[in-house]
Structure 1
Amino acid sequence: MGQYPAHWEADVVLADGGTAHVRPIRPADADRLRAFYSRLSDESIYFRFFGPRPRLSDKEVERFTNVDYTDRVALIATIGAEMVAVIRYDRSGPGEAEVAFLVEDAHQGRGVASVLLEHLAATARERGIEHFVADVLPANMKMMGVLRQAGYTAQSRFADGVVRMTLDLTPTDTSAEVTAAREHRAESRSIARLLTPGSVAVIGASREPGGVGQTVLRNLLGADFTGPVYPVHREVRAVAGVRAYPSLAAIDGDVDLAVVAVPAGGVLDVVEECARKGVHGLVVVSSGFGETGADGRSRQDELARLARSYGLRVVGPNCLGIANTDPAVRLNATLAATLPGRGRVGFFSQSGALGTALLQRVAQRGMGISSFVSAGNRADVSGNDLLQYWEEDEATEVILLYLESLGNPRKFARLARRIARRKPIVVVKSGGTPAGHSAEELRLPDTALSSLFEQAGLIRVDDLIQLFDVGQLLAYQPLPAGPRVGLVTNSDALGLLAVRACEAAGLSPRPPVNLGPSAGPAEYGPALADVLATAEVDAAVVVYTPPIPGDAEGVAAELVRVSAGSAKPVLATFEGHLGMHPALRVLSPPARVPDPRGTRPVLSPPERGSIPSYAAPEEAVRALAHVVRHAAWLRHPPAPQAEVHGIDTEAARALVEDTLAAAVQEDPRGFEAGPPVAADAAALLACYGLTVWPAPPVSCADEAVAVAESLGWPVVLKVAGAEAARRAGTVRLGLTGPDSVRHAHAELTAQYGDDVELAVQRMVPQPAVPTVVGVREDPGFGPVVSFGLGEVTARLLQDEGFRLAPLTAEDAAGLIRSVRAAPLLFGEYGYPPVAVAALQDLLVRVGRLSDDLPELARLSLDQVLVGESEVFVLSARATLRTPALPRLDAGPRRLY
C-alpha cells in the first residue's frame, strides 16, 4: 500500500450549496463502507455491479479499502462521519484506467458524483493516466450524464448490452468552463441558503440586557423577519417576550440558520447540535478564536473543519452578522440596530468592529443595501463566496468590499475580472492581515495589488468615504462615455476648485457655467439642460451652495427633471449634503409585497436617476474619476488568451525537472527548506522563442579582445552580476576596436579591482530604451509579471507595473502603459518611438512561461533594450523550487 496522499483531501461545495469532504479511502473505512452499502437501493447496486449483490463480502471490502494510490485509487465523499459516495479507478493499461462510482440514493442529484469525478481526474493525471474507461448499462442515464457533462472529450460505443465510454482527461477550455460554472452555482447557492433562511435560531440568547445573543434577537424581531425566530437558552423560558427553547432539538419546526452567541469553548458542541437538527448555515458572532492567539486559531480551524464536514457554511467567527433587506425576508441577524433600507448595493465587510459604523454611514447617506455580510475572522465564508452570490442576485447592482485580507487572491482576481463586466466592484483594501484571519500575508507591494485590481476591473479606493462616494454614484447614475465634465455652479471659487480637481484626477473639465449666488430653479434647469445637450460633455457636476437660503426644493426638482432619462451621469454638491438628498431622489410608488401575516406596503428605495450629493465638489470629482476609468475598462471587451507560436513547453518542462532532480541528487535531504535553485534562464527563454544575447565572461584584456572579435563590433564591456545593472559606471559602450576594449578593461579593473568579473557583449543597435521584466511566484496570486523602465530614476521611484500571468495581448499593452515613464517608449520627451509591439510579445511569452511552470520562483530579465524594430534581452536569471502545494486556483473545485 502506497503512502497516503493527504494533499488529495478537500472540502467542497455541492450543487445545492451544502458541503462535503473528499479524501482518499483508507483501510480504516471498512465499517464505513459497509454502512454506506447497506443504505443503497437495489437499483443503485444493480447499476454499479450489473446484478444483485445484497452485501459486500469481507474480501471485497478489503479490496475496495486497500489501494496503492497509484494504480488503484478510490476517493470518498463524507458528510459528518458517514460516507455518502465513492469513486475509484483501476489502471487497465498504459495511460488508461477503468472508472466507476456510487452515490447514496439520499444524496443523488446534489452534484456529488461530478465533483468526485473532477478530483479523481486530477489524481489520475498526477499518476500519468490519460484516459478513463467506464462500462455503463444503457438504463443508467445518470452515470452517462455525469461522464458526458464533465467537459472532457468523450467517446462511446455499444456492445454486448453495455455502453463503453472513454474520456480523454486532457483539460480543455470546455472542461475548465464546466468546472467554473459548477463552482459558481454551488457557491452562490451556499450563500443564498444563508441570506434567505425560512427560520432562524439564536443560540445563546439570554435575558441579559445588552448581551450579544439578546442584541441579535432584538434586531431580528425589530426588522420584522418574515419567518419564525427561536431563542435557544438552556435555562430561561422566554427572551425579549419570545418563547425560548432549551436546545435545538426541542424546536418543533425546521431551523435553516443558527446565530451562535455562546462562549468560544462551547461553539464546537453547538456545531454538532446544529448538524443533528439539519441546520444549513451558521453565523458565529462569538469571539475568542483566531484573534486571541495560537489556541484560538486552532479552535477556529476546527470550527471550519467540523462545520464543513457536516455540510454547513460558517460566517465568522468574531463577526457582526448578516442582513438581507429583501421585503420577502427582512433579515437583520447582526449586532447593528441601525440597518440601511432597501437598496441596490451588496456590501461585504471583513471587519466586525467597523461593521456597525459602516452600516450607520450607509443609512445616513440614504443609499440602501440589498444584503450585507460581516465575515469577521473569515474562517469559511469569504468575499469570493459573496461575489459568486451577488453576480446572480438581481437585487444587487453594485458590490462594495472592505477587505483586510485575501484568502485565495488568484481566485478573487479571476472572479472579479468576470463579474466586474456585469456589476461594478468597489474595494477598500487595508494594509496587512489582522490576527485571526484565515489568510496568508501577501508578499507583493501595495502598488502591485493596485495593478492587479486594475487588471481585474476593480475600482480600488483609498478609504471608506470614497467607497461610499463611488458606490452611490454607480448605484443611481449611468456610466459616463468619457472624461469630459460639464460644471454648473453658483460660486466662482467652488467652480475653480472643481476644475482643478478634474485636472488632478485626469478628467477634462469645460469652463464652469457660473449662475451667480442668487440662482434658483429657473436658472439651474436650463443651464443643466444645455450642459447635458453638449456633445463635448460626458458627465455633469452641479454645485448648489447659496449664501442665503433659497428655493432648494425647486432647484432639486429641476435637476431631477432635466437629468431624467439622460445617458450622462449627474452629480451634485447640494447644500453640502452627503448622500442621497431626499429632494434629489427618484421614487416609485410604495410596493405591496406578500407577507406571511398579510400583504403590506413597503416604502420604495431610491430609483435610478436619483442624484447623489457630495459634501464638496472635489469629492464628487474624485468619485466621478474612478467611475470614468471603470467605464473605459468596460469599453475594451475581454481579450482571449494570446496565440503564442514557436514555444516548446515539453522541452521547458524537461529542463525544469532535470534541474530539480540534479539539485536533489546533490543534496539528498532536498532543497525545499534552503535557497531556490539557479536554472539556465537562457535555455528556458529559448523554449519560448526568446533569445538572450550572449555575454561571455573574460578574465583578461586579451581574452576580451578575442571575444569581441568573435561577436562582431561594436561591443560593450560590463561588470557581470545581478546587481551590476543597478550601479552607475559598470558598462563601457560603443567599443569599436582592440585598443578601446583594452582601455575599458583597464578602467573597470582599476575601479572595481582585479578580481572583478567582466563580460563582453555585442552592442545593441541604437537608439534603444532600457527596460526591466520580471516574474515572481506569489503564494496567493501565483505568477505575477512585473515591468518597468531600466533608467535609474524609474528604479529609484519604484515605477513598476504588475499583471497576473498568463497575459493577453491587452494585458501586456496595459502593463507597459501602466508605468509613469511609459511615454519614453512612444516617442515623447525627445526619445524616438520604439518597438512596443515586440515588447508586448515578449511580455506575453514570459507570462506564458511563468504560467506553465509553477516551479519557477523568480525570473529577471535585466535589462531588456527596446529598439526601433525589435527587443534585445541582455541578461536573464531564473531560480526554481518545488512548490509545496498546487497553486490556490488550480485543479478541481475546493474550499480554501
Structure 2
Amino acid sequence: MKNETLIGPRTHALLADGTTVCIRPVAAADHDQLQGLYEEMSPENLRLRFFAASRRSAEMAADRACATPHVGYRALLAERSGQVIGLAEYDTGGTGTEAEISIAVADGLHHRGVGTILVEHLVSAARADGVTSFTADALSENQEVLRLFADLGLRTARRFEGPEARCTIALDEVDTYLTAVEERGRAADVESLRPLLRPTAVAVVGAGRKPGSVGRAILHQLKAGGYTGRLWAVNPAATSILGVPSHPSVSALPRTPDLVVVAVPAAAVPATAEECGKAGVRALLVVTAGLDADQAKALLAACRTYGMRMVGPNCLGISNTDPQHRLDATFAAHHPRPGTAGVAVQSGGVGIALLDGMSRLGIGVSSFVSLGDKYDVSGNDMLQWWESDAHTDLALLHLESFGNPRAFSRTARRVTRRMPVLTVDAGRTDAGRRAAASHTAAAATRTMTRQALFTQAGITAAHSVGELLETAALLHSQPLPAGSRVMIVTNAGGAGVLSADACAEAGLTLPTPPAKLVEDLFTVLPEGAAIGNPVDATAAVTEDRLADCVDRIMRHPGVDAVLVALVPTAVAAATGDDLVKAVTARPGHRPKPVVVVRLEQTLPVELLSRTGGGTVPAYAEPQAAARALAHAARRAAWLARPAGTVPDLDGIDTARAHTCIETYLEAHPDGGWLDPRTCAELLDCYGIPQLPWAWATTEDEAVLAADRMRGPGGLVVMKAYWPGLLHKSAQHAVHLDLRGDSQVRAAFRDLETRFAGLLTGVVVQPLAARGTELFAGVVQDQVFGPLVLFGLGGTATEILADHAARLAPLTDHDVHDLITSPRCAPLLFGAAGGGPVDLPGLEQLLHRLSRMASDLAQLAEADFNPVLAEPGAVTVLDARVRLLPRRPQDPYLRRLR
C-alpha cells in the first residue's frame, strides 16, 4: 500500500492522556479484531456509527477494511498492547480529490484522542496522495464526531439535512492545522512525562547490596534526597537495601511503580523492560550502557508495546527538585540545588558540569534529564515539559544529535518567546574550514545547518559549557538590553582597554558619549578622570562617586548596557571603599543590564547579591562579559522582531513539477542530475527567471541556436553538457564571447573533440550583461530538511565560501538575513558604486527556491551558479538540479521516534 511507504508499516504516537498507541495500515489478518471492535460497541454507539444498530454492520465494516485495497482507499487502525481500539478510513471512489472519511473508536476509550490521532495520520497520507478535502456524514446528535472534525484545525463546513449533518473538511490549511496539531502534541507529550518526572512511586532494579553499583548509588540519592513518594529496590537476594524495602521482582512489588530505574547488565535490560511493561509501569530510566543492536531493538520494542516513556539508555539519570517530589534519580556526586533552570544533556559529563555550575551560581535546577543515547525522550520533549512547568524560566540544552529538527525548531521558536533557551553547539568539526566546493551539497556542512536551526529558532548557542554558564548568569539576573550599545566604566585604564577590545570583538557597539553626558559625568568623577568610552574614573574614584557615575550612564537613552571593569587598588583599600558595592549596594530596579568584570576574581563567573534583592553577574575576564552581553543583545533583537511569514507566491505549478519529476525518475530510477531541458522546465514551474538558452547536438544546430540567442552585442556563450558534468569552468567546458558562425563552429568542434564519448550536446546562451555574480542553492538534508544557501557566486564561491544558510521554508525574515549575512552583502546595496541590485527580485528568487525544495522531497540538491544580479533584474545563468527517488515525509506528523 502506498501509505505504508509514507508512514511506515507501523508508527507509535501519544494519546491525549499520555498513553502510547500503535498506528498502522489494516491487514487481512485484522478482520476478527475489527469485527470485534464493532460488535463490542453499545447499541447506541453502533447507531451513531452506522445510523442503525445492526450487528450485520460490524461484519460488513470489517470486510471492507480488510479487503484487497483499491485505488483511493486507505484504512488505518490504532492498537494498544496488540488490541485494536480504533479504525479510520477514507475512500475517493478511485477518482477525484475528495474522499469520504469514517471513524470508529472502541467503547470506553472516547475522549482520549484515538479518533483525532487516526485522522491526523489519514490527513498526512491523503495530502501525499493529492486528496484536497474529506467529507463525512454524521447524525446531528453525534456531537463527539462533529466536535472532532471542528477541533482539527482545518476549515470545516457543515450542512444539515434533517437528522444528518454533511461535513466537508478542507485539507489545504497549513499554519492553523500545524498549530492545532502542535498543541495536541504538546499536551499529550507533557502528560506522558508525568510518570517520569513526577512519579508517585519508584523502583530501582539492579541496586546491589554492596557499595559500588550504579543502581545502589541512585537508590542512595533517591533516599538521601528526600523523595516524597513510595520507594523500593528490586533484588531477589535482599529484603532491604540502604533501609529501603527490596522485593524479588517488579511484579512482586506492593503496587505498580510509575517509574522504574533499570541498572542491570546490558544482557538483562530487554527482559527487565518486558517485565515492567507487563506489570503496567509507565516510565523507564535506563542507566545501563553498552547495549548491542539486538538489545537496543528489544528495549525500544518493549517500551512501544506497553506504552512506556524512556530516558536513556547510557545516561546519568533524572532529577526534579520540586519540593512536592524531590526526585533525584542520578548518580551525580551532589544533589542539584533547587531553582529555575531546566537542563537536558546527552553527555553525562556535561550534565554534571551544568548541575554544579547552576548550583554554584545560585540559579539552581527545576528539572534535569540526562538523555544519554536518546532512544525515546528527547530535547524536544523537555522543551515542551518546561514550557508547561511553572517552575522553569531558563532552558539549557546539550544535544549531540537531533531526531526531528523541524519539529524541534517549531517547538523552540514557541518556547524561546517565553524563556531563554541556551545550548552548547557541540561537534563543530567544520568550524573554520572553508568549503572549497562549487556545489551546494559540498558547501553545506552540519555546522552550518545546525547554526541555521539555532538562529531561526531564537536559541542562544554557546561554544562551550563555560560560555553557556556565563550567558545563563546574565540572562537569569539582568534585563535584556534594548540594543548593542555598551558603555564601559573602569578604575584602571588598562582594564578599560581590554574591555573595549572584548566588546568590539563580540560585535557590540561602543558609542561616544555626547557632550551633555560628558559634562554630567565630570561633576561626579574625581579630577583627572577621562570621559570617553571607556570612562576612566581613575584609581581615586570612591564607591559613591562610581555609583553616581553608573547611575547617570544608565539613565542615558543612548546606552543599552553598562560594563564596569574593576581592579583592586591600594587607594580603595586605604579609604575602605568597596567599588563593587557601587553596582550592588544601591537598591531599586534597573531597566538596563549592568555587568562587572573583576580581573582578580578566581571563578569565571559569579552572581553577586544586590541590596534589596536580585543579583549582578561578575566575570573574571572581559571577553566573558562581552560574549554574554552580545548573546543577550541578539536575544533581545530576536524577540523584538515579529515572527516571520512565508509569502504566497504566484505562478507556481506544483502539479506540473511533480509530473516532471515523476517522468524523470521513471526513466532514471536511481535519480541523477537533470538534463538542461528538464531542469529548465522544473525552474519554470516555480517562476524562477532564467537566461534564454537553446539546445544543440550538432555543429549546424549550434550555429542556428547562436543566431536565435544573439543579443544586442552579438556575442554568445557555449556550454558543454553530459550527465554528471558539475564543474564546467574547472574542466574548461565553456566558451565565452563567441562572435559569428565561424567562432561558434570552432567552439563546438573543440568541445566535441576534447570530450568525445562524453558530450551529449551543448547549451547556447546570449552573453549576459555585467553584474554581481551570486550563488543560490539548496540541499535536502534527510534529518534537517531543505537547507538554502546564498552568497558570492562564480568561481569565487570555491575560494571564499562566502555563504549564509537558512532552513526552508524561508520566511521574509529568513530571506532578509540570507541577503545581508554574507561578506559580499554591501555589493548588493551599491557599495561598489553601481547602485543596488534588484533586491525584490533576489528575495523572490530565494522564496521560490525555498518553495521548490519544500514541495519536492525528491529534490536532493539544486545549484544556481552564477545568479546575475543587476539593478533591474535577477537571472539564473546556470542551474543544476539533482533528484533522488525519495518519498515525502511529513515532519510534523505526531509520532514517537
Q: In which range does the TM-score fall when normalised by the shorter chain?
A: 0.7 to 0.9
Give matches, 1:745-756, under 5 Å: 749=750
Change (3 A) 1:54 1:263: farther
Report deviation, 1:504. Answer: 1.2
Structure 2 match to 1:717: 717
**Which of 413-422 and 15-24 deviates more?**
413-422
SS at match of 2:302: helix
Tell me how far apart the structure 1 counterparts of residues 151 and 225 of structure 2 sit (CA, whole Å): 44
Structure 2 match to 1:627: 632
Structure 1 match to 2:515: none
SS at match of 2:427: coil
Paired residues in the alignment total: 850
Deviations 1:657-710 (A, max 9, x none): 2222333xxxxxx326xx465572211111222232134467669955971575
SS at match of 1:486: strand
Give matches, 1:172-571, under 5 Å: 172-289=174-291, 296-431=292-427, 444-510=445-511, 511-517=533-539, 519-547=541-569, 550=573, 555-562=579-586, 564-571=588-595
Assess if the C-alpha contact under 8 Å between 2:486 and 2:560 holds in 1: yes
**Which of 245-254 and 407-416 deviates more?**
245-254
Report deviation, 1:314. Answer: 0.7
Change (3 A) 1:389 1:268: same
SS at match of 1:418: helix
SS at match of 1:150: coil
The sequence identity of aligned pairs, in percent, is: 36
Structure 2 match to 1:617: 622
Report deviation, 1:348. Answer: 1.1
Assess if the C-alpha contact under 8 Å between 1:217 and 1:231 holds in 2: yes
Assess if the C-alpha contact under 8 Å between 2:587 and 2:611 holds in 1: no
Report deviation, 1:134. Answer: 3.1
* TM-score (ref. length: structure 2): 0.87
Tell me how far apart the structure 2 counterparts of residues 70 and 154 of structure 1 sit (CA, whole Å): 25
Tell me how far apart the structure 2 counterparts of residues 702 and 713 of structure 1 sit (CA, whole Å): 21
SS at match of 1:362: helix
Change (3 A) 1:241 1:128: same
Tell me how far apart the structure 2 counterparts of residues 491 and 210 of structure 1 sit (CA, whole Å): 53
Change (3 A) 1:750 1:781: closer
Report deviation, 1:174. Answer: 2.8
Change (3 A) 1:882 1:747: closer
Assess if the C-alpha contact under 8 Å between 2:73 and 2:94 holds in 1: no
Tell me how far apart the structure 2 counterparts of residues 717 and 657 of structure 1 sit (CA, whole Å): 31
Report deviation, 1:12. Answer: 0.5
**Which of 200-209 and 316-325 deviates more?**
200-209
Report deviation, 1:631. Answer: 1.6
The answer as to 2:739 corresponding to 1:765 is no
Tell me how far apart the structure 2 counterparts of residues 181 and 692 of structure 1 sit (CA, whole Å): 42
Tell me how far apart the structure 1 counterparts of residues 413 and 822 of structure 2 sit (CA, whole Å): 21
Tell me how far apart the structure 2 counterparts of residues 230 and 69 of structure 1 sit (CA, whole Å): 55
Change (3 A) 1:744 1:131: closer
Aligned amino acid, residue 568 of structure 1: K
Deviations 1:627-656 (A, max 9, x none): 212222222111221121222222222222
The answer as to 2:837 corresponding to 1:807 is no
Structure 1 match to 2:801: 798
Deviations 1:724-782 (A, max 9, x none): 565498777667x549x83996799599959798754323333x100011111110121
**Which of 311-320 and 205-214 deviates more?**
205-214
SS at match of 2:863: strand
Tell me how far apart the structure 2 counterparts of residues 834 and 368 of structure 1 sit (CA, whole Å): 52
Change (3 A) 1:352 1:29: farther
SS at match of 2:896: coil
**Which of 168-177 and 479-488 deviates more?**
168-177
Change (3 A) 1:348 1:754: closer
Tell me how far apart the structure 1 counterparts of residues 373 and 76 of structure 2 sit (CA, whole Å): 31
Assess if the C-alpha contact under 8 Å between 2:679 and 2:880 holds in 1: yes
Deviations 1:567-616 (A, max 9, x none): 2111222442547746435786xxxxxxxxxxxxxxxxxxxx41122221
Report deviation, 1:417. Answer: 2.6
Structure 1 match to 2:659: 654
Tell me how far apart the structure 2 counterparts of residues 811 and 443 of structure 1 sit (CA, whole Å): 17
Select the residue among 850, 863, 870 that pairs with 2:853. Answer: 850
Change (3 A) 1:499 1:533: same
Change (3 A) 1:771 1:101: same
SS at match of 2:8: helix
Report deviation, 1:245. Answer: 2.0
Tell me how far apart the structure 2 counterparts of residues 255 and 711 of structure 1 sit (CA, whole Å): 80
Q: Which runs of 5+ in 1 are unaligned?
A: 290-295, 434-440, 589-608, 664-669
Tell me how far apart the structure 2 counterparts of residues 125 and 475 of structure 1 sit (CA, whole Å): 44
Report deviation, 1:113. Answer: 1.1
Assess if the C-alpha contact under 8 Å between 2:234 and 2:249 holds in 1: yes
Assess if the C-alpha contact under 8 Å between 1:584 and 1:612 holds in 2: no
Report deviation, 1:331. Answer: 1.6
Tell me how far apart the structure 1 counterparts of residues 347 and 537 of structure 2 sit (CA, whole Å): 45
Aligned amino acid, residue 688 of structure 1: Y
Report deviation, 1:105. Answer: 3.5
Report deviation, 1:487. Answer: 1.3
Assess if the C-alpha contact under 8 Å between 2:866 and 2:876 holds in 1: yes
Report deviation, 1:382. Answer: 0.8
Structure 1 match to 2:119: 117
Structure 1 match to 2:514: none
Structure 2 match to 1:572: 596
**Which of 40-49 and 492-501 deviates more?**
40-49
Change (3 A) 1:58 1:161: closer
Tell me how far apart the structure 2 counterparts of residues 447 and 385 of structure 1 sit (CA, whole Å): 24
Change (3 A) 1:586 1:888: farther
Tell me how far apart the structure 2 counterparts of residues 632 and 3 of structure 1 sit (CA, whole Å): 43
* TM-score (ref. length: structure 1): 0.87
Tell me how far apart the structure 2 counterparts of residues 630 and 222 of structure 1 sit (CA, whole Å): 39
Tell me how far apart the structure 1 counterparts of residues 2 and 20 of structure 2 sit (CA, whole Å): 28
Assess if the C-alpha contact under 8 Å between 1:480 and 1:628 holds in 2: yes
Give matches, 1:24-173, under 5 Å: 24-33=25-34, 36=37, 40-52=41-53, 61=62, 63-68=64-69, 70=71, 72-90=73-91, 94-95=95-96, 96-127=98-129, 129-159=131-161, 161-173=163-175
The answer as to 2:17 corresponding to 1:16 is yes
Aligned amino acid, residue 118 of structure 1: E
SS at match of 1:638: coil
Tell me how far apart the structure 1 counterparts of residues 876 and 2 of structure 2 sit (CA, whole Å): 46
Tell me how far apart the structure 1 counterparts of residues 745 and 823 of structure 2 sit (CA, whole Å): 34
Tell me how far apart the structure 2 counterparts of residues 51 and 880 of structure 1 sit (CA, whole Å): 52
Tell me how far apart the structure 2 counterparts of residues 97 and 487 of structure 1 sit (CA, whole Å): 67
Report deviation, 1:830. Answer: 4.9
Change (3 A) 1:774 1:750: closer
Report deviation, 1:53. Answer: 5.6
Structure 1 match to 2:831: 828
Report deviation, 1:794. Answer: 4.6
Tell me how far apart the structure 1 counterparts of residues 709 and 129 of structure 2 sit (CA, whole Å): 49
Change (3 A) 1:803 1:539: same
Report deviation, 1:298. Answer: 3.1
Aligned amino acid, residue 783 of structure 1: P
Aligned amino acid, residue 475 of structure 1: H
Aligned amino acid, residue 265 of structure 2: P
Tell me how far apart the structure 2 counterparts of residues 118 and 552 of structure 1 sit (CA, whole Å): 70
The answer as to 2:788 corresponding to 1:781 is no
SS at match of 1:613: strand
Tell me how far apart the structure 1 counterparts of residues 549 and 732 of structure 2 sit (CA, whole Å): 62
SS at match of 1:612: strand
What CA RMSD, in Å, does the superposition of the two structures yield over aligned residues? 3.4
